[in-house]
């Protein structure tokens, strides 16, 4: 009996482990709340893992080659979507910033509220304006997803 057994790696087992490792950054890219293109490095990792998996699977069954070719396409697609989304968000931010500069009125700030019947209406009006601003910002963010 050998005291030291040889350490052999089965290619199919390695492909399974590599697929599990690939799925982790894919999960992060799909479900992260980061603003694009913050997940672009993860897309690069996914691309490298998919390319490595495709190289390992070149002499394996057709199913493994299809899996890794699909992973390669998904990685490229995620990277392209991150770049496009990042450009759209940057464009929307620049438009929003330029429109904010043009619409800021040249008037002094409103005086602080004094406890009287009239000040309650001013507070309610300010609260309404804040609610409308939050609603508009939310709609702008959601319009990106269309």
**Cα–chain center distance at 98:** 25
- pLDDT digits over 55-114, tens only? 999 989 999 999 999 999 999 999 999 999 989 988 888 887 776 665 555 666 666 655
- pLDDT digits over 30-52, tens only? 898 888 888 999 999 999 999 99
Residue 36 has what pLDDT? 85
DSSP track, 29-96: HHH--PPTTTTHHHHHHHHHHHHHHHHHGGGS-HHHHHHHHHHHHHHHHHHHHHHHHHHHHHHHHHHH
What residue segments make up the domains of the chain, in order of their start?
Answer: 11-104, 111-141
pLDDT at 5 over 90: no
Please tell me the pTM assigned to this model: 0.59
Distance in Å from the first CA to the final CA of the chain: 66
Residue 144 has what pLDDT? 52
Q: Which of the two residues, 37 and 135, has the higher pLDDT score?
A: 37
Residue 99 three-state SS: helix
pLDDT at 119 over 50: no
- 51, 96, 106, 130 from 103: Cα distances, Å: 50, 10, 9, 16
CB atoms within 10 A of CB 68: 25
Residue 67 has what pLDDT? 96
- pLDDT digits over 7-31, tens only? 567 889 999 999 999 999 999 998 9
């Amino acid at each position: 009996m050998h005291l030291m057994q040889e350490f052999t790696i089965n290619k199919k087992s390695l492909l399974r482990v590599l697929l599990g490792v690939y799925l982790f950054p894919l999960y992060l890219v799909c479900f992260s709340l980061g603003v694009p293109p913050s997940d672009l490095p993860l897309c690069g990792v996914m691309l490298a893992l998919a390319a490595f998996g495709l190289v390992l699977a070149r002499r394996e069954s057709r199913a493994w080659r299809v899996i890794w070719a699909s992973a390669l396409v998904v990685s490229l697609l995620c990277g392209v979507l991150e770049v496009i989304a990042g450009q759209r968000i940057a464009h929307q931010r620049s438009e929003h910033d330029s429109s904010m500069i043009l619409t800021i009125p040249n008037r002094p700030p409103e005086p602080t509220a004094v406890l009287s019947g009239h000040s309650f209406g001013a507070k309610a009006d300010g609260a309404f304006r804040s609610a409308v601003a939050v609603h508009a910002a939310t709609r702008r963010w959601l319009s990106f997803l269309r």
